Structure 1
Amino acid sequence: MSQSQSDESVRVLVVDDQELFRRGLTMLLSVEEGIDVVGEAGDGIEGTELAASAAPDVVLLDVRMPKRTGIEACKAIKEAVPSAKIIMLTVSDEEADLYEAVKSGAAGYLLKDSSIEEVAQAVRVVADGQSLISPSMAVKLIDEFKQMSKPEREHMPGLRLTERELEVLRLVATGKNNREIAKDLFISENTVKNHVRNILEKLQLHSRMEAVMYAVKEKLLDLP
């Protein structure tokens, strides 16, 4: 499914080693309109295998799990099902692992004490191609990407972003969602989505955070 459409259910996989939490989340999400839970797993290895066979649109993935950590599972699931959007489940948004998860391709994170309405909304948001990154975390990630930025810049020939695409990318880098970006630039949400899709296609990247990481490395953003 390339574009999430309102008449198509978002296929969700829940991966968490706490059985009560996992079962409860599965049950609650199952009754949400437009969401179809296609499986649940209790560890990262089982979760990766299930993802490969069920091809979910969104994976809710616990950061801390036995056998294979959430970070390892995140990488493995992205390799097995590149189109899957991964939301990390965590008890704290201060965990260093979350940076690793986002850098490994996760679309963002969700606190475990979130309401079911927040979880369902998060699933719909990432299925729609947006990130679940708080502005404070976006700032930390950008700082980290700047540290990683090497002096020798690897240029990919022929990649040119328009001024408007650069504007959108700068706003994405601050943790803003499509609606906020649309408001800032006085354009429609649909136009923002098209710009983000074009940016990812031009840069041959899979997620908004990967685009930000690339932009920082290539010094495309006016960061202090």
Structure 2
Amino acid sequence: MERLHVAHAGTTGTADDGAADGSPLSGDAIRVLVVDDHALFRRGLEMVLAQEDDIEVVGEAGDGGEAVKLAAELAPDIVLMDVRMPRRGGIDACTAIRDVVPSAEIIMLTISDEEADLYEAIKAGAKGYLLKDVSIEEVASSIRKVHSGQSLISPAMASKLLTEFASMIKRSDEREQVPAPRLTERELQVLKLVARGLNNRDIAKELYISENTVKNHVRNILEKLQLHSRMEAVVYAVREKLLEIT
């Protein structure tokens, strides 16, 4: 059984593309939509991110409903969104945005340190979950990293994610088992390496196959399991006991 190691000395992640620091390889700025119900927070975040040469704030919204409409109009690369907002919350909006703009990646930036919010955000397709006590430098860095293909979680939330994983395993043991979709032996190998945090390049080296072949396997795995992200694949691997948490 493989082992999952969750880092506690910085944000965790798996990178597919981009430079080592997560910055875009092209000259195009990363287009960001900021979503928060506090106008002053939105303005402050926009002002600070405006200082970054490779990041452009293209719009802002005060709730999830407005965020979905603007995302459809603006097609941002990254949506930086709060979890708990009036009218329509961030998790519900996350699901809707993933439907209307599949290319947009979503980072939750919130004060909520509830493991239930973290897990529901991951299920909804969020690629990052950051607490609002992170520095603005970390926010900018996280935008770059998620844009390059990483999945990020604040270190403070890592242990909470493990707690949720453990609860999932217990619930899985208690309910009647339903046969899981069948993965090929190679897909299982790729899934285990994804769950260990390896990026596509490292997986290719490990299995002596091309990066394009790895990408095809990852896409097939997500489609078969009806998952939205590599982070959800980790959750699945834990639930099905394909790897062991340490």
Q: Distance in 1 between matches of 2:123 and 2:108?
A: 12
Q: Residues 138 and 197 (structure 1 numbering): CA distance in 2 closer, same or farther, change over 3 Å?
A: farther
Q: Decide whether aligned partners of structure 1 residues 162 and 44 sit closer, same or farther in structure 2, where only a CA change above 3 A counts.
A: closer
The number of aligned residues is 213
Q: How does 1:130-169 map to 2 (within 5 A)?
A: 130-133=150-153, 134=155, 135-149=158-172, 151-161=176-186, 165-169=190-194
CA change 1:209–1:199 in 2 (3 A) is farther
Q: Alpha-carbon deviation of 1:83?
A: 2.3
Question: 1:89 and 1:155, CA in 2 relative to 1: closer, same or farther beyond 3 A?
Answer: same
Q: What is the CA–CA distance in structure 1 between the aligned matches of 2:232 and 2:78, rounded to whole Å?
A: 18
TM-score using structure 2 length: 0.73
CA gap of 1:22–1:196, structure 2 versus 1, over 3 A, is: farther
| Counterpart secondary structure, 2:220 | helix
Contact 1:168/1:196 (<8 A) preserved: no
Separation in structure 2 between the aligned mates of residue 50 and residue 148 of structure 1, nearest angstrom:
38
Q: Does 1:219 align with 2:238?
A: no
Give the aligned partner of residue 6 of structure 1.
25
Between the two proteins, what is the percent identity of the paired residues?
A: 52
Q: Is the 8 A contact 1:74 1:104 kept in 2?
A: yes
List, as ranges, runs of 4+ consecutive aligned residues in structure 1 with deviation greater than 4 Å: 193-196
Cα distance in 2 for residues equivalent to 1:144 and 1:37: 38
Q: How does 1:23-102 map to 2 (within 5 A)?
A: 23-94=43-114, 96-102=116-122
In structure 2, how many angstroms separate the alpha carbons of the residues matched to 1:76 and 1:85? 12
Q: Is the 8 A contact 1:196 1:208 kept in 2?
A: no
Relative to structure 1, is the Cα distance of residues 144 and 130 closer, same or farther in structure 2, using a 3 angstrom cutoff? farther
Work out the CA distance in 2 between the residues paired with 1:223 and 1:25.
36
Tell me the residue number matched to 2:6: none
Residue-by-residue CA offset, 1:83-118 (whole Å, 9 max, x unaligned): 221111112423532221112111121121222110
Runs of 5+ consecutive residues of structure 2 not aligned to the other structure:
1-15, 19-23
2:41 corresponds to: 21
